[in-house]
Structure 1
Amino acid sequence: MLLVMIACAMLFTVVYSEGSASAAATGSGVSSPALNQTYKQVKAGTYYSVGLRSDGTVWTWGRNLFGELGIEKKATITSFPYPLRLPSLTGITTLSVDGQEGYQLGVKADGTVWEWGRDPFVYRQSILPRQVQGINGVAAVSSSGGIASAMLNNGTVVAWARLGGEDTSAVNPVTIAGLTNVTAISTQGMVNYAIVKDGSVYAWYAKLDDNRNVVLSKPWKLAGVSNVKQVSSIWDTGYAVNANGQMWSWKLTVSSKLAISYVTKPARIFSSIKVRSFNSNLLLSDAGVVYNVVNGKLNKVSGLPAVSAISRGGYHQLAIDKQGHVWGWGANKWFETGSPTSAEGGMVYTPAQLQSGVDIVLNDNRIDTIVPAYESDSTVQIPIKLLAAELGIRFSADSDGTITLARGKSIVTIHRNAGDVKVYLNGKPLELKSSIGSSAGSITIPYELLASLEIGANWDAAAHRLSIMT
């Protein structure tokens, strides 16, 4: 008889419990190819993260306390240590995260815009992924302070007020007058920025009036910067990187009449290094080296391979290496770095690689659950309660913590007592090579236990795919 410890990665943050109602697993109804594990875009929000894979799927992890992940309408699961796919989001080409608002936008290959995340009008409630009605032909998106913006395929920019989760009406996009041939937008901070085809930069101010109508200033062309390929800001301070890897910073102010002007004009910074991109005091050099900017000085981030993209959230940082793998470091109380373990104080001091997501395929159909399967101790842990109905398993939980899994003539009983677990098959002790686990308050079992219920399963470690046959 093997005594196994429950490996509960989220014990102190979980509201959702095994005995409560849960989202059921749903099949996709289509054959599932192997996962493309590489990421092409990653965004760090405030205590959570969102990643876009090369296959157009969107994955998320970290805090869900206020519904920011967009995985369930009423937020009951407060955080996720493992990447979870948002199954209704496919064919996404680019995404944007408003970390302060807990709100995301994505663009599909057909030019439609999709939104998900925290409902701004209902406490601890999510907007599940849905298409934003009333706008099409979009190439890129951005959002800040309740106002969403989109760069259209024709090179113009529009903005609209965010809607609440119960409002499914079409938005009313307002065109930013005077902006044409736009190639990139950024709407973080006090003002919004656009780069146009000739490499010049324009800034404009946007706000909502008392009736939630979008009020816009006239776009203002920045003097002193040119040939720009990337622009960003931290409140009133803007930053630009040009095609030669040179970087400038400046400060702006906005008058009561919405006129924009310089507080300090653009000045070269970090002239000793060729810069690829900059994001909220996180700098990526052209050589693929990442630096934290502290008091105006560059501090190299150790422990990373060559990096191609960076993102800084409220208290954690993310990077994509040149092989498409995601790395995270910094604050990790809510598992926002993607690491299921932390050092003292809830920190990840040395960058850790994000664990790959697991695809579950049942009889050639992909299965998505609100709690993801995950790799642990040379096995794959699966959320058995959420999968039970799909697998033809009768699941029951007693008040004393005993779990019963029944299928045909096979009955597996899991007794949990003060952290120790005893497992029986038809009343006889059953030895397990891997422990019973827990994630987001949902009990998980090593997939090998399915064999005791006469269910076949095969783990393809290279494809990160668990194929189950019933």
Structure 2
Amino acid sequence: MKGRKVEINALRYTEPLKVFLFGEGSSGELGFGATKKAIDVKRPRFNEALSNMSVVRIAAGGMHVVALTKDNQILTWGVNDNGALGRDTSHVDVKMRDMDADGSDSDSDDDPTGGLNDAEATPTAVPAEYFPPDTTFVDVVAGDSCTFALTTEGALYGWGTFRKNEGVLGFQKKDDCARTPEYIEGMKKVTQIACGTNHVVAIDKDKHVWAWGNGQQNQLGRRVTERTLEAALQPNRVGFHDNSLGKKHPKPSAKMVQVGCGDYHSMAIGDDGHVWAWGANNYAETGYAGNAGDDNANVATPRIILSLEGRQVTSLVGGSHHNLAVTALGELLAWGRCDSSQTGIPMDQLNAVDDVSKVLKGENGKAKILVEPTAVPGLQDIVFATCGPDHNIVLDKNGKAYSWGFSANYQTGQGTLDDIKVPTLIDNTAVKETKLVWGGAGGQYSVLASLKK
């Protein structure tokens, strides 16, 4: 039966969305086109043009965004320096902003584009010619400079590049950038995918986990040396062999039902409910207390997060050095770096903890690392969470959005550049009467969406 399409994934996202964006837009991340009015957006702003394109799914990357439409187009916008948009944007002549000129980036500037490239700042479809005929997409994800799209057949297409500490690592081979979509060899029958800053984790239909990209912080679940960095650009199976629960417990399942990524670490939920993590652990990102806080600390292979046993975790998301987990009871748990309000737990509460197995403190005696996953106070009935590098957005069952953390680019949507210390309702005119169903947190911007009635 050669050539017969076998559907692995049914369509997941079919309801068109109303999309609201806010935060830093100086590279076109907010998708309003080349207008200086979209450079700094302090609170959620309705993007009418984007919403009129029947977007059903969105993914927020570092400085670019990707969206899937009801009619099976993939839209991209934002930074395209390393090919993350999957399409050519070089044909637009951009007037460079002279940042030193008097008033050049103020409202008095006579350039209405704000120095933006319209081809990058306007949501535009990746040409269908890059994909085989009859390809149907079910999901999209975005990393820092890379983008991936998943099809009904469980095939993956990707573009952009992965970066390493020293610069460009490559995409499917060393030093390359995929300027247009490429089929990802070695990945078949994929059902789910998640992106860190420079790595990807995927689940196939047999519930096996695969990882590829940059493995310098062991975020691929295996030791990667300088010599094997290039080989890590190819998908590899991740092994799950932690015996720390002891012989009295059944052997943990190596089959996973969900994956999540922080910037430099990875997480997964097993089909038996155990939560696993691996990768960077400088701030206890993996929930492992053993080497948390040490320089260059990491967890080389997946370990069970013992402090999440029995917590009924249903989803996991990560930022640069912190994580959020939603539980079946609607609790929101946070752990990892906490010295800039990343966890949403009041600092005086964290500073009062005198137990190094729960909170590690800096030289100033103030809480720096929340080792133990802890419920964020003031939140209940949480159904969705997303993390930017150091800011967060969660939604409750009523469709209300709360944000907190780093806000220097208005990415919390609270209209201020000051850090938001605890979860705070996003309550401006644009979203006040709206039941929100999704949120995305990029590098310095954020996205909210409701169903388009």
Larger radius of gyration: 1
TM class, shorter-chain normalised?
0.3 to 0.5
Q: TM-score, normalised by structure 2?
A: 0.46
TM-score (ref. length: structure 1): 0.45
